């Protein structure tokens, strides 16, 4: 039982770890504002994960699977990411000023940024449909609801552990690295966000003309 529990913590870690929009945004916030803004971006993303987990659990997945909703999410997600990426690159030059006095955006804004990024990410939905859907089916048929809740908690422990790790790493970067490297990282994370945004937008356009 304990072994299975840990395997679900690892599943949570592996869901959160691939470098995606949220990780790029956490890196950016951590460098500019320190630990808490980066951590709250991740918490916002985990809240979106919880929302999708609930939707899969309640079985209203088919609504998300409609071409209209998918197209909307790809396009809106693309817009959010491109906007955030451009904003990140514009504010990269503020790192110089921020190293003396920290530029810290309100934490609710960091949380909301992570939440919007994750909730409009169709890949998040695919993750939860594919992975959590199969976990759900397996656990429900083999063990029942109580075990399912325990496994779901294990996945979230994994997600939150990665969130904490990313916030710690990105905020320690600003202490260890010089301004030029930090500005470079902020620009790269901005470019990464724009790249993800263009990919999302392209997927949305393909879906739009496909149907």
The pLDDT of residue 13:
83
Domains in the chain: boundaries: 2-210
Render each residue's pLDDT in the chain as its tens digit; 211 residues.
678 788 888 878 877 776 678 888 898 888 888 899 999 999 999 999 889 888 877 776 566 667 887 788 888 888 888 888 888 788 777 665 555 555 567 899 999 999 998 888 877 777 777 667 666 666 666 666 677 788 888 989 999 999 999 999 988 887 787 778 878 877 888 888 898 889 989 988 998 887 6
73 neighbors 120 (Cβ within 8 angstroms): yes
The pLDDT of residue 73:
80
Instruction: Give the predicted TM-score (pTM) of the model.
Output: 0.78
**Strand runs labelled E in 56-154:** none
135 neighbors 151 (Cβ within 8 angstroms): yes
The pLDDT of residue 10:
86
The pLDDT of residue 32:
84
Quickly tell me which residue has 């990919």 as its tokens.
199
Of 2, 211, 16, 3, the residue nearest 131 (C-alpha): 16
């Amino acid at each position: 039982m304990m072994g299975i529990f840990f395997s679900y913590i690892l599943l949570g870690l592996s869901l959160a770890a691939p470098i995606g929009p949220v990780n790029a945004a956490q890196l950016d916030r951590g460098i500019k504002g320190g630990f808490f803004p980066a951590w709250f971006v991740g918490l916002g993303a985990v809240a979106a994960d919880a929302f999708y987990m609930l939707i899969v659990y309640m079985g209203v997945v088919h609504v998300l699977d409609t071409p209209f909703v998918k197209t909307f999410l790809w396009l809106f997600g693309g817009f959010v990411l491109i906007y955030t990426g451009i904003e990140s690159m514009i504010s990269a030059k503020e790192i110089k000023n921020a190293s003396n006095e920290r530029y810290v955006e309100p934490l609710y804004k960091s949380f909301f940024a992570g939440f919007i990024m994750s909730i409009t990410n169709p890949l998040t939905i695919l993750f939860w449909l594919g992975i959590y859907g199969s976990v759900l089916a397996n656990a429900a048929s083999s063990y029942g609801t109580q075990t399912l809740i325990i496994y779901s908690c294990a996945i979230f422990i994994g997600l939150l552990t990665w969130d904490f790790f990313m916030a710690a790493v990105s905020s320690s970067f600003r202490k260890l690295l010089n301004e030029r490297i930090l500005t470079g990282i902020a620009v790269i994370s901005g470019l990464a966000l724009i790249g993800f945004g263009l990919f999302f937008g392209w997927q949305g356009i393909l879906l739009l003309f496909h149907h």
